[in-house]
Structures are given as structure tokens and as C-alpha cells.
Structure 1
Amino acid sequence: MITPRFECSQTEESIIVKVYCPSIRAADVETHIDDTLFTIHVNPYFLRLNFSYTIVDDEQSSASYDPSSGYLTVILTKETKGQVFPDLDLLSKLLAPRPSQDAPLIEVIGQGQETDQDEETDDLVAQTNALSLSSEQEEILLAAENDWQLPQQVSLTADPPISTSLTQTYGFLNAYSGYFRHVAHTENEVNELGPDAEICTIRERRVKRWKHEDEKWDEEHYMADFADDEYIQELLLWENPSATDSSPFEFTEEEKLTLLNLPRKEYLADAHQTKGLYLTLVTVLFAYAYETRTTQGDSTPESAWTISSLVPAFSALDPPPYSAPTSTATSPIIPSPSDLIASLSQSYRRSLCFPLYRSLRLAEACRSDVASLLLLGKRAVLRALMKTKYILDHHEVYYVYSKIWVDDFCVWVQASASGLHSDDALCEMGTALRGLQVPKRSIGWDLEELEDATRQVQQTREADSDDESEEESEVARQL
């Protein structure tokens, strides 16, 4: 079946769905309404939309087909008149299946199917809970009953789970493997794991990434950009229209087509995973902001390399978090300032040792761009992700990072990242980023000492230049 192009709009009383399905027989069109679900089937097209609120099929509902344009227009009645249906322009969200009510840690791929196994599942859960407790659990309960004071020790390290498989997973929610099996035979210049990309553990990936960053760090390059920053100042003055234009916008036809071609997935992540996704999103947006600012919105053949190099989750398959969890977080899913600093520190490090322009002030400007994007809400973030996806998809090697990360982020941001109807989570992160200061010590490489040394050299040169000018003036007077 083919998913047709479509668009949705609304009035006070109705939802209007326009579906492009040329060369069909109007008499063969089948529609069905079930609470919030609406389906259209006419060979070879099938469309299933999941709205935020209930729709009904009554006398005011209608459907008409225009053979000249190929558009089928369906008018659906709102159950509650005047109710505003949000996110009708987020096509991937409308195409997503109904949210599952089961436990998290599951990713549902494809169109969700309702089953009649709820009672069987409940019986299975009850039987599981009725099983005998382990000896350790029995000891704990017995201790509690007799008020014994068992010794307690808090683990100071977070050891990764034991795996019996040589192949490791990576990407969005660690859902992918096999994409780098033959990476040694490709021209993937950003891969920092070499031929071991498929078998490196999380800890090994991080160690290799840090080592590679230290090897690529160039003090002289940083000091040169710090001393002679004329062109960097031009980049700092440039305003990113994606991050500064707060007026409402409509997705272009090309963007709508991109949304339609995204995978149909439902992501059920726990709080720890969700926080990690938010932090990874920040690093991806930072790379996008850096690429956009340094090219002033006109991408180049090097843009895919720049983005892939600046995101640790791409080049080293090493996503956040990069710091130990803290008990001061106000939300189990929204990153704390310390979480954001730890993630941005990695982005700053990479922006100072890989691309052409290596400036801490440029990195600060990119952080400000990311904050502005987040404050503008999920549509602005989604557009930035789709631009990133476009750049990666058009590269013969780095498209792989779009497949294992950016595609899923485009779907997740629409329906999952900020709740059903709210941008509160994204705005909260944007507010935190706007007032954030990334300490230079968290980046490493003794940046303050290098900057002080550069200033001293500049002052010495200026003094010598003044002395030479005075000597030349004195000689000129004598002559």
C-alpha cells in the first residue's frame, strides 16, 4: 500500500483532510472512524491518521473527489465543537499509531494493532508476581520484619550491563547494529572506532573518543584563531534566521514530503533514556548551528563532515549522558544545568579540535543559537533536524547517521519529546541554555593559559611596533 500525500486543516466544527490520490474511482473509496482514528483505503492508497481528540461521522461529514486535481477532500466532524486540534501540520505525528499503555522500554515499529490479550496479560502478570521470592528477597523481608540493620553500601560507579554478545548496539535508543560492519572499506573519515565499531562497548567508545580528541587538539591553531579573529567576528555577527524568526511558518512541500517518508514508530523510553535523548538532541542542534553559522546558511560539500564530526554520538557512537546523575534535578526527564554543561563541554571540545574555525566565542554563539531554537518550540527544532537530515542524506557515506539518529529524532520530536500538546520541556532547556556558562576547565587543554599567553605575545608585539615607529620618526626628524 502507498501512503499518499495529504494535508489537514480545521474549522470551528470540522477537520478537513485533503488526500492526493490521482486516477482512482471515487466509488471505491472506503473510510472509517474510530474515536480518534481515521482511515482511508482506495487501491493502491492507504492512510491512517490518529488525531488528538475524538471525531465523529454524522450528517455534517462529507467526502468529495476532484478528478482534475486528483485530490480527495474529506470533512470530519469534531465531537466537541470549537475544540482546537493541535499539530495538524506535524504529519508524522498524525501517522503514528495510538500511544501504547504498556510498560516502557519497548519500541513499536509500524502501524500499531490492537489486541484482545489484555486479560491474558493481566493473568500472566499476576502469576509472575505470585512466584516464590528469591532467597535474597526473603532475607530482606525477614530482616525488615525483625528490624535488623543490614549493612548498606552505595555504588560509586555505574558499570554497564553485562553482555554475552560481541556485537554492540548504538543509535537512537540503542536500536541499531550492523551499519558499520564494513566501515573499514568505506571512506568514513569521521569514524573514530575503526573496524571495531560494531564490537566496542560504551566505555571503550568514550576512551577512544577522548584519545582521538586529544590527538587532534592543536594549541597553535587555537591561539592563531584567538589572536586573528577578523573572519570569526563576521561569523559572530551573522544572525541565523532559523533561530531568530519567531513568526509562525508553514512547512514547505519538500518538508511535508520528508515528513511523510519518515519511519512510522512509537518510542516508549524510560526517564533515563528520555533525558539522554534530550541531551543528544542538544549536541545535534549544536552541530547544526555550527555548520549553519560557519557557512552562513549556504551548505557546502564539507557540511556533512562538519556535522558528523561535531556530534560524539555520530563519530564515536558515544551519546550522553557524560556526567553522573545528580539528585538536584527538578525533573526525571529534563536535563539539569550540570547535565547540559557536561554535554556542551563535549561539543565545545570537538568544535575546538576538528573544523576549520576553532574559537570558543564561536562555540558560545552556537550555544545561543541552540537555546533560541529550543525556545521557538518543536516546529523550529524539527525544521533544523530536517535540514540536518537533508545534508546527511545527500552524502554517500554520512547518510548512515541520518538513518540511525536523525530520522528517529524527527519522529520523536513531533510526538514524544515535549508531551502531547506542549513545548514546555524544550522551552525549559532553552531557558537553561540561554543563561548557561560552560567553564573552560570543563573543556580541558588549559585554555585560559593559552589565551593569556596569546595576549602577552600580542602586547609585546604592539610595544615593539610602537618602539619601531618612534625610532623611525626620530630618524625622519634628524634627516
Structure 2
Amino acid sequence: MITPRFSCSQSEKSVTVSVYCPSVRASDVEINVDDTLFTLHINPYYLRLNFPHALQEDDEASAQYDPASGFLTVTLTKAVPGQDFEDLDLLAKLLAPRPTEQPSQGPLIEVLDSQSAEVSPEDDLVARAEGLSLEQQEILEAAANDWQLPQEVPEPLDKLKTTPQERYGFLDMYSGFFQHIQHQPNEINEIGEDVETCPPAERRKRRLQREEEKWDEDHYMADFVDDEYIQELLHWTHPHTQPVTEFQYTEAENMKMLRLPRKEYLATPYQTHQLYLTLLTLLFAYAYESRTTQQDPTPESGWTISSLVPAFTALDPPPYSPTPKAAPETFDPSELAATFTTSYRRSLAFPLFRSWALAERCRADVAAFLRGGKRMVVRCLLEMKDVLDHHEVYYVYSKIWVDDFCVWVQSASDEALLQLADAVASLKMEKSAVGWGLEELEKIAREDLDRSSDSDDESEDEVERMLPAPL
């Protein structure tokens, strides 16, 4: 079945679904409404939408088909007039499966009646004595004599593994995507040919080793001294950081959302926390690429984005520091600093322009994207996805990471994203955290620049002394 193009709008009393299904017979259309679930079938098209609130079919509901334009317009009545149906423009969220109902946690067996058998006092005493183990007797004696027994917390059991393969990607849902890595020219792969079996700890070790190998202090000092073009990049205003009065996705963006996977993500609070941190690394990579190309992607854009995301190059997502036990939307400055330190290191070691000031500007862009809410974040991810999807190798990272993020973010809370934006904007990054002595290198570069300037002045003075006196 084909999922048709569609759009949704609402009025005070109804919700309108406009579906593009050309060259069909209107008499064959089947429409069903079950509380919040709307389904439409007209061969070869099938559409199933999950709305946030209940709808109903009554006398005011209608469906009209225009053969000239190919659009079927379905008007459904709101069960509660005046109720606001939020996020009707987030198509992937409407297409997602209906949330799974939580099973009851009540008792599975209910005792209706019970009758104890007649037991003699002697038999009961014998049974109780036999039932007491040595350990139980020890506990009873300790309680009677107020002994202090040692108490130890058992170690958690290791995860049971039945295969050497490791999982990776969004919520560790994927495996097998790199089975033939040795036959593919994947330049950003930092794990090697054993990518499918490499454990997470080893992935991080190899990533850090690769960053150390790629670090070039001469390149950094050259960009620090000759920063004319970098200054131009710093002063460029990213369009997605500007306030939007009325947000609306383009037709191309709606088509991309229709092709996204339709999944329900049952993430734990800890996993949700990790996803927010990983989202920061994706947005930082997008901010760097779009700023350095001024939103005009080049053939190198796929490589640039992929090189800056540790979850791509080494399948090593955050957290990069111990995560405090807090709510999923609450972030400690130390873990945010650790997350951005990793992105900063990669921006200073891999791409063409290596500047601390540029990294700081990209972090400010990330805060602005988040402040724009989930719709703006989805727009950034869709542009990132478009770049990766057009690359013959790096498209795989769109499949195991970006596609799922595009769907998951649509269900995120704008309030949570706003809190994260404020935390990112107020973050104080230290150059010493990178570990490459940036402050010392900048000091040396300034001293060399001052000496060169003094030498030029002395040379000019010497030339003036050698010139003949004016008549």
C-alpha cells in the first residue's frame, strides 16, 4: 500500500484531512474513525493517523473528492468542540503507531476463599523446625541477641549475550549494517573491520586515539593567525537562528517526513537523557557544516557532518561523563561540558577550518535551534538527513541515527528543549578541557605575530634612512 501525501488543519469544531490520491474512484473510499484513530483506504492508498484527541463521525462530517486536483478532503467533528489538536503539522508524529497501553500491575490470582487443614500442634511444631534453614536460624538468633550481621549489596549481573555482535545506533536498535565494511570506502570509520563486534569501551578508546592522531597544532595556529575567512564565517547569520512568527514546513520537508519510519520508542528515563545529549552532537555537526558552507552544501558536506559526530565515526554516543541521577530533561553543566568538549575536539582536529571561536559560535547556534522548538530542530535534522542520504556511503548513518531522531524529536516537549537551550547557552567552556594546550599555542602565535610586526617596522625605518633627503 502507498502512503499518500496529506496535510491536516483544524477549526473550532472540526479537523480537516486533505489527501492527495489522483486517479481513483471516490466510490471505493473507506473511512473509519475510532476515537483518536483515523484510517482511510482507497486502492492503492492507505493512511492511518493517530490524533491527540478524540474525533467522531456525525452529520457534520463529510468527505469530498475533486477529480481535477486529485485531492480528497475529509472533515471530521471534534468530540470536544474547541479542543486544540496540537502538532498537526508534524506528520511523522501523526503516522506513528498508537501508544501501547501499559499492562495492569495488579495481582494475577485472587484468593476468593481459603480453609486451613486441621494440623495437630505436634506436627505443626515439627514442620516449622524442619523448615528453618541454618541461615534462618542464624538470623533469628542474631535478632534475639542483637548481633550485627554483615550486609553486602550484590553486584549487578552482566548482560546476557548469545552472539558476538554488538548493537549500536538509536537506542541500540541496530546491528549488521557494517558487515561488509572492508569492501566499502568508509573514510570516517574509526573502529576498523571489527565494527560489528567491538564493545563500547573499545570504541571510545579508538575514537580518542584517532582524535589524538589527527590533531595538528600547526594547522590550529595557522587558522588562529590568519583568520580573515573564519571571521567572515563568525559574522554570518544562520537563518534558522532567527525568530519565526508562523512556522510552516515546505512541501519538500513534508515529503521527507512521510518517508520516515513509523515507530513507537519505549525509552527509559536514562535512555531519554542520553538521546538529548546525542542530539546536541548532531546539531553541533549540522551547525558547523551549514555555517562553513553558508547553507550551500558541497560534495564534502557529508564527510564533514559525519566526521564531527562521535556516534557516527566510532558508534560512541554520549554520555562522556558520569550521568547524575536526575529527570531526563535536567542536565548537569559538567555532562554538557563533556558532551561539547568531544564535539569541540573533533572540530579542531578533522575539518578544514579549526578555530575555537568557530566552535563557540556553533554552540550558540545549537542553543538557538533548540530555542526554536521541536519544529526547528526537526527542520535542521531533515537538512542533515538530506545531505547524508545523497552520499553513497554515509547514508547508513541517516538510517541508524538521523531517521529515528527526526521521529523521536516530534514527540519531545518544547519546554524541555527550551530548558536545554538555556543550559547550553549559559555553559562556560574551558580551552584546557580539550587537552591540547590551546592557550599556550595561542600565546606563542601572538608572540610570533608581534615579532613579525616589529621586524616589519624596523625594515621600513631602515628603508626610510637609506632614501635621499627631499630637496
Structures share fold, TM-score greater than 0.5: yes
Following superposition, the deviation at residue 287 of structure 1 comes to 0.3
For residues 312 and 200 of structure 2, what CA distance do their matches in structure 1 show?
Answer: 13
User: Structure 1 counterpart of 2:278, which letter?
Assistant: T
**Alignment of structure 1 residues 15-414 onto 2, 5 Å:** 15-102=15-102, 148=148, 150-151=150-151, 161=159, 163-326=161-324, 329=326, 331-414=327-410
**Mapped contact 2:329–2:419 kept (Cα < 8 A):** no
Q: Distance in 2 between matches of 1:126 and 1:315?
A: 54
Q: Secondary structure at the match of 1:346?
A: helix
- Structure 1: distance between partners of 2:109 and 2:191: 42
Q: So what's the TM-score if we normalise by structure 2?
A: 0.89
Contact residue 31 and residue 38 of structure 2 kept, 8 A? yes
Name the CA distance, whole Å, in 2 between partners of 1:138 and 1:271. Answer: 38
Deviation by residue 1:212-231 (Cα, 9 ceiling, x = unmatched): 00000001000110111000
Provide the C-alpha distance between the structure 1 equivalents of 2:264 and 2:332, rounded to a whole number of angstroms: 26
Aligned 8 A contact 1:272 1:333 in 2: no
- Per-residue deviation, residues 170-224 of structure 1 (Å, max 9, x unmatched): 0000000011111111111000111011111000000000000000000100011
Please say which of residues 224-233 and 145-154 is displaced more in the overlay.
Answer: 145-154
- Describe the SS at the equivalent of 1:16: strand
Distance 1:210 1:154, change over 3 A: farther
Please list the CA deviations of residues 5-57 of structure 1 after superposition, one character each: whole Å capped at 9, or x if unmatched. Answer: 11100111110001111222222211111111111112221111111111111
Could you tell me how far apart the structure 1 residues matched to 2:421 and 2:183 are?
40
Q: Which runs of 5+ in 2 are unaligned?
A: 112-132
Gaps of 5+ in 1: 103-117, 128-134
SS in 2 for 1:352: helix
Deviations 1:157-182 (A, max 9, x none): x9974645211000000000011111
Structure 2 counterpart of 1:429, from 420, 432, 448: 420
- Are the aligned partners of 2:329 and 2:420 in contact in 1 as well (CA < 8 Å)? no
Pair 1:395–1:444, CA change in 2 (3 A): same
Match of 2:119 in 1: none
1:470 aligns with 2:461: yes
Q: Distance in 2 between matches of 1:437 and 1:348?
A: 13
C-alpha change, 1:365 and 1:122, in structure 2 (3 Å) is same
Flag the 1:27–1:338 CA change in 2: closer, same or farther, 3 A. Answer: same
Shift of 1:473: 2.1
Q: Distance in 2 between matches of 1:95 and 1:464?
A: 68
1:452 aligns with 2:443: yes
- How far off its partner does 1:101 sit? 3.2
For each residue in 1:95-148, what CA deviation from the matched residue of structure 2 results, as whole angstroms up to 9, or x when unmatched?
A: 11122233xxxxxxxxxxxxxxx57x8666999xxxxxxx9x999x99999895
Q: Tell me the alpha carbon deviations over residues 268-313 of structure 1, each in whole angstroms, 9 at most, x when there is no partner.
A: 1011111111111100000000000000110000000000000000
Cα RMSD, aligned residues only: 2.6
Contact 1:349 1:443 in 2 (8 A): yes
The number of aligned residues is 445
Query: 1:114 matched to which residue of 2?
Result: none
The TM-score with structure 1 as length reference comes to 0.87
Secondary structure, aligned partner of 1:31: strand
Distance 1:181 1:125, change over 3 A: farther
Corresponding residue of 1:130 = none
**Within 2, Cα distance between the matches of 1:474 and 1:126?**
108
**Does structure 1 retain, via aligned residues, the 8 Å contact 2:2–2:45?**
yes
- The superposition leaves residues 327-386 of structure 1 with CA deviations (integer Å, 9 ceiling, x where unpaired) of 5x5x34433222211111000000000000000000000000000000000010000000
Q: Is the 8 A contact 1:278 1:334 kept in 2?
A: no
- Residue 111 of structure 1: aligned partner: none
Give the Cα separation in 2 of the matches to 1:125 and 1:380: 50
Greater CA deviation, 332-341 or 274-283? 332-341
Q: Is the 8 A contact 2:36 2:52 kept in 1?
A: yes
